Amino acid sequence: MSEVIDKAVEALRAKLPDGFSSTAKFVIEDEGSIIADENGVRAGDDDAEVVLTADRETFEGMLNGEVNPTAAFMSGKLSVDGSMGLAMQLGAALA
């Protein structure tokens, strides 16, 4: 597992301390993926109801508050596959 994924898991745990009511996957291009579900946040590549994909810079910006998730999506830096409603819930949690 990469150091980028380890740090992203820690940051997501802080933003989603009780996990996520559904199953979401965050794919960081060229690094790996993270799962958030009712059991918490962990590195993994499980199936998910929503998949958010971006490069490392975009994810880091979203996690540290420098990049608005909605703006990243609208500009094409963040792609969403699956439930847009769940993606919006995650965007609110990350903002």
Neighbours of 86 (CB within 10 A): 20
Averages of pLDDT over runs of 10 residues in the chain (95 residues) are: 89 93 96 96 96 96 92 96 94 81
Q: Which strand ranges, in their side-by-side order, compose the sheet holding 32-37?
A: 40-43, 32-37, 24-28, 50-54, 78-82
pLDDT in tens, 46-73: 999 999 999 999 999 999 999 999 999 9
Q: CA angle at residue 36 from 92 to 89, to 5 degrees?
A: 20
> pTM for this one?
0.92
